[in-house]
Structure 1
Amino acid sequence: MAFRSPLACVALVAFGSIALLGCYDRGPKLPPTVSVSGSVTLNGQPLPRALITFSPVEPGPASSGQVLDGQIVELRSNGMKSGVVIGEHRVTIYDEDVESGSVDVVPNRYGSLDTAILATVTEEGPNEFAFALERK
């Protein structure tokens, strides 16, 4: 098959390259996620700032976000996909700036997977949680 025009040859190569890119595996697909919302209080008061992580009990990607003025702010799985995977999770809540040497606001037991709060995220929802932390 001979092409009479170099432009036709370039077009064929470009089209073939685009077609092959569509078949490229861009890495592992993340499982479906759902939205999660809620509040976090410490001794009955809205927690001003913290980090929160939902870690699945079964193997799967964790989702992390922030707590601002007592509200859970958008959680992201692997830093990219919005939401939390469906299933049972260990929820950890910990101070945002643990390296600065500032006084811990959130008791350490809430930041450990060993003593984490259990929460079940469902496909049907509503997946709204109220985490009431206590300083003892």
Structure 2
Amino acid sequence: MQNAIDILLRKIPCLLALLVLGVGCFGGNSSHPGLVEVSGVLTIDGKPAKDISVVFQPEAGGNASRGTTLEDGSYQLMFDRHSSGALPGTHRIRFLSMAIDSTGASLPAKYRRPETGITVEVTREGPNEFPFELSGK
């Protein structure tokens, strides 16, 4: 009986180490803990804009977050393939599109430039909902 207890006591630290390692590797969004959820709606001349990429580039540097607009113009940012959200701070906004969407709203040329002049402040407190009303005029 004492031999079985000794074996069990020697294995417990190994099992705990594996458990901690497993949670660290597979649990939650541990690789990007500072991200916050960001969403919004993009319209062009009052119409929802579909299939336009909305890019949030942090002014402080770092990876951009992006989201593609849906049929209703809504978007949600992704930091990478597995992590949603954006880093807190000031972001320069860019829009990318290759086609005219089904509503007839196309991305005006002045918004296709890398520097649109639009900036927003993403905060930890939120809400981080950013509607963009673009004008073709």
1:32 to 1, 22, 34: 34
Deviation at 1:110, TM superposition (A): 1.8
Higher strand share: 1
2:61 to 59, 62, 79: 59
Q: Structure 1: give runs of 5+ residues left out of the alignment.
A: 1-7
- CA RMSD, Structure 1 to Structure 2 (Å): 3.1
Is 2:47 the partner of 1:45? yes
**In the alignment, which residue of structure 2 is the partner of 1:122?**
123
DSSP 3-state at the match of 2:131? strand
Deviation at 1:39, TM superposition (A): 1.0
Residue by residue over 1:93-127, the C-alpha shift from the partner in whole angstroms, topping out at 9 and shown as x without a partner, is 121xx3xxx55921233233322421111111111
Residue by residue over 1:49-98, the C-alpha shift from the partner in whole angstroms, topping out at 9 and shown as x without a partner, is 21111110111221111111243333111332111110010111121xx3
TM-score after normalising by structure 2 = 0.68
TM-score after normalising by structure 1 = 0.69
Partner AA of 1:111 in structure 2? R
Q: Structure 2: give runs of 5+ residues left out of the alignment.
A: 1-6, 26-30
- Percent identical residues: 35
- The count of residues paired between Structure 1 and Structure 2 equals 123
